[in-house]
Amino acid sequence: MKPEAESFEEAVGFAIYSNNKRSADLYRWMFELLWNERTLNEESSKTYNMQQEFVNIAAHELRSPAQSIVGYTELLLADPRYIEIDKNEGFLEAVYRNSIRLGRLTKDFLDISRIENQTFRLHTERFHLNGIIPLVVHDTQRQHAGTRRILINGNRARTISGSYKLSPSIEEEERCNDKDSDICVEADRERIIQVLTNLLDNAFKFTKEKDTISIITQVLESEDNNNNQKEVIVSVRDTGPGIDHEVMQSLFTKFCTKSMSITKNTGTGLGLYISKSIIEAHGGRIWAENNTHDKGATFAFSLSIV
């Protein structure tokens, strides 16, 4: 009904008249069905909003204590007295690894919320892509028990001096200049580090100690309307059991955790979904495949070169 209407037709709107009982019952059933669907949609929307609000609040509240645990544990690990006491038990290393995991989990929940609410934003800058890879390797090695043989473009990964700080040589590599223009990207540096960390973290989980993980960067050039366009392909290749064929099609969806890792820790299944969203927000693509001749799998993504 429209109270402001000036005529009967405008006030009533659309109406159906029938003197057949079966037809009237059918129309009544259809309208009741539509009304119930509308009511359920409204209730579902309210429930979804409440869930999103809860996730945001919980993730924000967990972030501060997780960061505090990480910070204080790093201080203890840097003190020779505590290192000597904890050398055989490894309690501090366990606390550190799990606090890092808790911090990453809260960050993943916030990222999922931003992606689904379409509030995910990038903060782009120009940087040298190969300059951040040793940093990611260094941090990932510290967060995992055991050792892996890491190769960056066929070379053994360098040891970074200092605790969670870039050495001067690596800081210099991150600056884009004319010599490095072929692998200089304009992207969100922290988000690309997040993607590399997720892929390398998966490689660690699915490989045994002393196995080899290779990180390869390749520059490809294509001609599009007589304009030379370059892109860089970053590949993380492991020698683990490979990707289960049953999950290959849904690998980059949420909560895809069927494949069992060497460490028996399957994770939450959010890392690859978030990585896909980050790379696609940059206009790139991400994919995975089992190695053809060797065992293991390769995860790769592309970015445009400045």
Q: Which residues pair with 229 in a beta bridge?
A: 222
Q: pLDDT higher for 305 or 177?
A: 305
171 pLDDT tier (thresholds 50, 70, 90): very low
- pTM exceeds 0.75 for this model: no
Q: Which residues contact 240 (CB under 8 A, 6 or more apart)?
A: 203, 206, 207, 208, 211, 262, 295, 296, 297
Segment 123-138, tens digit of pLDDT: 999 999 988 999 999 8
Q: What is the mean pLDDT of residues 244-268?
A: 70
Domains with residue ranges and CATH for the chain:
1-120 (no CATH), 125-304 (3.30.565.10)
Enter the tokens of residue 109.
């929940």
Using CA atoms, how far apart are residues 202 and 261, in angstroms rounded to an integer? 8
Distances (CA, A) of 117 to 72, 157, 251: 34, 39, 22
What is the distance between the terminal CA atoms of the chain, rounded to a whole angstrom? 60
- The pLDDT score that the predictor gives to residue 79 is 82
- The pLDDT score that the predictor gives to residue 158 is 54
186 pLDDT tier (thresholds 50, 70, 90): very high
- The pLDDT score that the predictor gives to residue 197 is 93
Q: What is the residue-averaged pLDDT of the chain?
A: 79
Segment 198-231, tens digit of pLDDT: 999 989 888 888 788 999 999 988 666 566 688 9
- The pLDDT score that the predictor gives to residue 92 is 81
Using CA atoms, how far apart are residues 273 and 111, in angstroms rounded to an integer? 10
- At residue 163, does pLDDT exceed 50? no
Segment 13-72, tens digit of pLDDT: 666 677 788 888 887 788 888 888 888 888 877 777 776 677 777 777 777 888 888 888
Enter the tokens of residue 116.
């689904």
Helix or strand or coil: residue 154?
coil
- At residue 274, does pLDDT exceed 90? yes
- At residue 195, does pLDDT exceed 70? yes
Q: pLDDT higher for 150 or 4?
A: 150
